[in-house]
């Protein structure tokens, strides 16, 4: 029986086309710059997001951290929103690897107020660390997508204070799909960007970092320092090329499925969908624990091969839609959830 895995878009399996591309990939030693498939992927990716150069890295976390390391010096300050992946879910890497201070700002749905950013920029005082970098996350982990106008405002502010802007664009192409623009329109307003091939784009492994030629040359050296110099890595880059050539054009299907699912479950008594941040492939909602016990909900679904992340009372639940979830699966998952709600009445 098919497993309907709604835990994340990272669970996507490589497509048939990717497996064939992996089998056929021309390879070489990428530390020598000899892997033609990696070179092709990096060139293709750079062009796609409108940057001079790109670098293939093992993960999104690696990409963000190599960018922070490349932009900053030890003791520098990085401004970012309190819920940012870089701050919450990267194991403190910015402190360990780059020795920087994270200056967090509370935003709304991950979006920092422009004046708050401005106030966070350090002045010229012997006691202060130097503000060096602003990190944005778009699409945001909250499900929200920030518009181009906001991106531009942050970028202009950064340039005024001679700061760099890094975009954690793990789901960059979901953001572009929502805004109905090319990804390079978003990346115009940042100095560096990381995006994941291994989430909604279904590649098994890998992320891309893009920026200026000079930045990427430095980042390449830092990637080596971090242990990310890989050899015949065209084997996995081949799948990444399929991601960028084919998979970014189908993300709207995932967004449509998320919206359909949201509309279906929002009709259930005790479910509150957060529509204001239903922008991409993820539905966030609250399920009233007085009506449904969390563990019961997760376990009952699991019995039917429907996987959702565990959550605690009062916490939100996230359902992620992706390449391995069909429209039919959306209805199947909804019917199962509906039955669980009925069974506790």
Binding interface with ligand PLP (CB under 6 A): 59-61, 64, 85, 137, 141, 168, 170, 196, 198, 207
Nearer to ligand PLP among residue 264 and residue 281 (C-beta):
281
Q: Where are the beta strands (DSSP E) in the chain?
A: 4-5, 53-57, 77-81, 101-105, 131-137, 164-168, 192-196, 207-211, 271-273, 282-287, 306-307, 317-320
Shortest distance, CB of residue 246 to ligand PLP, whole angstroms? Answer: 20
Nearer to ligand PLP, 311 or 334 (CB): 311
Q: How far apart are CA 256 and CA 106, in angstroms?
A: 30
CB of 168 to ligand PLP, least distance (A): 5
Task: Output the smallest distance, CB 339 to ligand PLP, in A.
Answer: 31
Q: Smallest distance from the beta carbon of 121 to ligand PLP, in angstroms? A: 23
292-to-66, 237, 269, 270, 339 alpha-carbon distances in Å: 43, 44, 10, 8, 12
Question: Closest separation between CB of residue 291 and ligand PLP, Å?
Answer: 30
User: Which residues are CB-contacts of 61 (< 8 A; sequence separation ≥ 6)?
Assistant: 89, 90, 91, 93
Nearer to ligand PLP, 59 or 70 (CB): 59
Nearer of residues 58 and 234 to ligand PLP, judged by Cβ: 58
Q: Which is nearer to ligand PLP, 89 or 128 (CB)?
A: 89
Contact call for residues 165 and 171 (beta carbons, < 8 A): no
CB-nearer residue toward ligand PLP: 72 or 140: 140
Q: Report the distance separating Cα 128 and Cα 186, nearest Å.
A: 32
For tokens 């796609």, the residue is 48
Q: Is 302 helix (H, G, I), strand (E, B) or coil?
A: helix
- Nearest residue to ligand PLP by CB is 60
Closest CA to 11 of 196, 179, 162, 176: 196
Which residue, 73 or 82, is less far from ligand PLP as judged by CB?
A: 82
Task: Provide, rounded to whole angstroms, the least separation between the CB of residue 139 and ligand PLP.
Answer: 8
The CB-of-116 to ligand PLP minimum distance in angstroms stands at: 20
- Alpha-carbon distance of 200 to 186, in angstroms, equals 18
């Amino acid at each position: 029986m098919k497993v309907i895995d709604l835990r994340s878009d990272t669970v996507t399996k490589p497509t048939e086309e990717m497996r064939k591309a992996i089998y056929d990939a021309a390879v070489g030693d990428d530390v020598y710059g000899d892997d033609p498939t990696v070179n092709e992927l990096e060139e293709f990716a750079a062009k796609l997001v409108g940057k001079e150069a790109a670098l293939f890295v093992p993960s999104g976390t690696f990409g963000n951290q190599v960018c922070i390391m490349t932009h900053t010096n030890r003791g520098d300050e990085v401004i970012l929103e309190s819920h940012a992946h870089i701050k919450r879910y990267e194991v403190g890497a910015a402190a360990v690897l780059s020795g920087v201070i994270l200056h967090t700002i509370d935003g709304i749905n991950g979006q920092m107020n422009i004046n708050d950013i401005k106030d966070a920029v350090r002045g010229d005082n012997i006691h202060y660390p130097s503000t060096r970098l602003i990190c944005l996350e778009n699409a945001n982990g909250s499900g929200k997508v920030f518009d181009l106008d906001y991106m531009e405002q942050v970028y202009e502010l950064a340039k005024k204070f001679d700061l760099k802007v890094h975009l954690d664009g793990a789901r960059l192409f979901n953001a572009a799909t929502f805004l109905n623009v090319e990804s390079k329109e978003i990346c115009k307003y940042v100095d560096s960007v990381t995006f994941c091939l291994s989430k909604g784009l279904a590649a098994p492994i890998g992320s891309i970092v893009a920026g200026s030629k000079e930045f990427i040359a430095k980042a390449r050296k830092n990637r080596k320092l971090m242990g990310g110099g890989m050899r015949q890595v065209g084997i996995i880059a081949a799948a990444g090329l399929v991601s960028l050539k084919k998979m970014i054009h189908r993300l709207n299907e995932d967004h449509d499925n998320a919206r359909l699912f949201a509309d279906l479950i929002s009709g259930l008594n005790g479910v509150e969908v957060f529509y204001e941040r239903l922008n991409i492939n993820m539905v966030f909602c609250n399920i009233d624990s007085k009506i449904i016990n969390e563990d019961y909900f997760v376990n009952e679904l699991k019995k039917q091969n429907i996987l959702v992340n565990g959550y605690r009372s009062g916490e939100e639940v996230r359902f992620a839609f992706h390449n391995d979830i069909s429209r039919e699966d959306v209805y199947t998952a909804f019917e199962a959830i509906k039955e669980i709600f009925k069974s506790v009445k």
